[in-house]
Amino acid sequence: MCGIAGFIDGKLSKEEQDPLLEKMLQSIAHRGPDARGKYFDGAVGLGHNRLSIIDLSVDGNQPMLRGRNSIVYNGEVYNYKEIRKTLEAIGVVFKSNSDTEVILAAYENYGVDCVQHFVGMWSFAIWDEEKQLLFCSRDRFGIKPFFYLNQGDRFYFGSEYKALYPSSLFSSAINEAQVARGLQLGWNTWNDETYYHSIHALPAGCNLIFKVGKNMELVRYWDIDTQKRSNLTWEESKEKFRDLFLESVNLHMRSDVEVGGCLSGGLDSSAIASVIGKEYSNSKFKTFTVYYEGKNEVDERPWVTEVLKKYPQLDPYYFTPTDDDIRNSFERAIWHADVPLAGSSPISQYFVMQLAASKGIKVLLDGQGSDEMLGGYMHSLIRLIGGDIGSGKVGSAIQQLNAHATMQDYSLGQKSNLFLKSLLAGFQSEQALYELEYKRYYPFLSKSNEIPFQLKENSGSRLNQFLYQLTFASSLPTLLQFEDRNSMAFSIESRVPFLDHRLVEFAFSLPDEAKIHNGVTKRVLRESMRDLMPQAITDRKDKKGFVTPGEVKWLRGPLSFLLDQNFKELDFLQYHKVNSLIDDFKRGNNKNANLVWRLVVLRWWMGKGRS
């Protein structure tokens, strides 16, 4: 895991190149404290901050040159050993033991199609001196970030917004469409858009080719087929899912430094920890948990204890933030985030990473992606029931609704609410439902009435259509950005085993009932892992997520200063509505606490959070 930065800019003098690239790298020094390297070739500059994970020797330093190609790279290609073996069989010779050199050799032999061979997470830029082009790529899910500025023949790139601030191409003009998406929907990115008009993101699953004198080319190299269907039986499906998941966890354990894991007590992190407890039973594995004490607070330690009882070789560490911790860490957490925080949970994640770093961990496994591909969220159940209603399977819809209502001990009102939402989902497209949420879920604040997003249409079951949007548009891209920034704030490489693309492709190919059945979410994960996980975790039905008390308790306590900012400077919003929301919250009304949080954090970010 590292930080990359670079440019192609013929307007820079030789004397300007090195100081500029140094500023870019210094701004993201936290991403790679182990080594720094720079390479220049005419108008091209490549820079790298290294966090040493694979091949800790100087042979793994970057920029790495191989023949007439050079690379700066952030991420891990977990199957690099297998790719290397294939290349060696056709006569390719390697000088190092790093996955970086494997990427370069794969590019030499396969060209831009090399990415089709990779299992992992990455963002990289390869300067092909012979072809005079810069080949850039981002992994299939956008786990690793890649941002760029482009103006004619001038091109700059970096791992974070802040790496691009020193460029003369950067403009601080705010992208109001992204502000609106952030406030109303909680998204911090959309396709290639960011919070700045000038900065673009390379979308997940895309390659970018920049060649001086020609148009920049952006090509999607991978996507999910939401219509593909597995023909396996239920027993065969469970076995294959288990095999793919265990293979992914084992690949994600490849490292030349110690690996640890997040352990929240939920299904996803417990599944990862249980695999490691079983597969690596002779070695200690450090786990990290943040909790909150007090009335109505979320304290997952009892669930964590269930995992520890089954696998006593796990080595747990815990942290509960005090008000002083929250107050003192807020500004730094915002700076690292690069964007306004849509909720308070990223700050809890920030503390998890801080705890892991304090115990010497440089690689951490986390459970992102499972909810999006396996239907872990409540809205997934709504789409499942709605899909049955829309296709005339009323009996099945009623069965699913009743099963969930019984399991969660719903009142008649709650059950009716679920039915009405499901009925709406049965006859409305994802675009229409997201538009409804955008305009109606919170008080609408933007002065513009335009809808600032257009979801990509896809087919398949109603549930799969929704899971696709969670994976590529709404939920996962935002979670992955915070995953990256919070981990890299403490020079930690965060890995997400659920996002092995082969596992995700298989999950999407499964029938709906393998994901949600009789009110039980993520069914195939629960059942395929039943012998490895504690029964209490396997059968756990309450969905907590990464819950924190921030939106109410923190704003009324350690972060109350956020409520006293001057909100008139948010001149692209309807100020009277903003002012009314803040005043209502100050008077004790918590109804729109989440939106109030987004407003006050946005204001802070625009004032102090970017410097």
Q: Please name the helix (run of DSSP H) or strand (run of DSSP E) that holds residue 70, with its range, or none.
A: strand 69-77
Contacts of 372 (CB under 8 A, 6+ apart): 467, 470, 471, 475, 476
Contacts of 560 (CB under 8 A, 6+ apart): none
CB-based contact 39:124 (threshold 8 Å): no
Contacts of 303 (CB under 8 A, 6+ apart): 264, 265, 266, 270, 536, 537, 540
Contacts of 281 (CB under 8 A, 6+ apart): 311, 313
Amino acid at 540: R
Q: How many CB atoms lie within 10 A of CB 478?
A: 23
∠377-378-380 over CA atoms, to 5°? 70
Q: How far is CA 86 from CA 31, 209, 346, 365, in A?
A: 31, 26, 41, 28
For 518: left if phi > 0, alpha if psi spans -120 to 50, otherwise beta; the answer is left
Contacts of 193 (CB under 8 A, 6+ apart): 175, 177, 178, 200, 201
Q: Is 313 helix (H, G, I), strand (E, B) or coil?
A: coil
DSSP annotation of 453 reads: -
Q: Is 355 helix (H, G, I), strand (E, B) or coil?
A: helix
Q: How many CB atoms lie within 10 A of CB 338?
A: 24
Q: How many CB atoms lie within 10 A of CB 129?
A: 14
For 12: left if phi > 0, alpha if psi spans -120 to 50, otherwise beta; the answer is beta
DSSP annotation of 456 reads: P
Give Cα 196 distance to the centre of its chain. Answer: 20
Q: Is 316 helix (H, G, I), strand (E, B) or coil?
A: strand
DSSP structure string for 174-216: B-HHHHHHHHHH--S-BTTB-SBSS-EEPPTTEEEEE-TTS--
Question: How many Cα atoms sit within 13 Å of 477 on the Cβ side?
Answer: 28
Give Cα 478 distance to the centre of its chain. Answer: 6
Catalytic positions:
2
SS (H, E, C) 368-416: CCHHHHHCCCHHHHHHHHHHHHHCCCHHHHHHHHHHHHHHCCCCHHHHH
Between the two ends of the chain, the Cα-to-Cα distance in Å is 24
CB-based contact 448:412 (threshold 8 Å): no
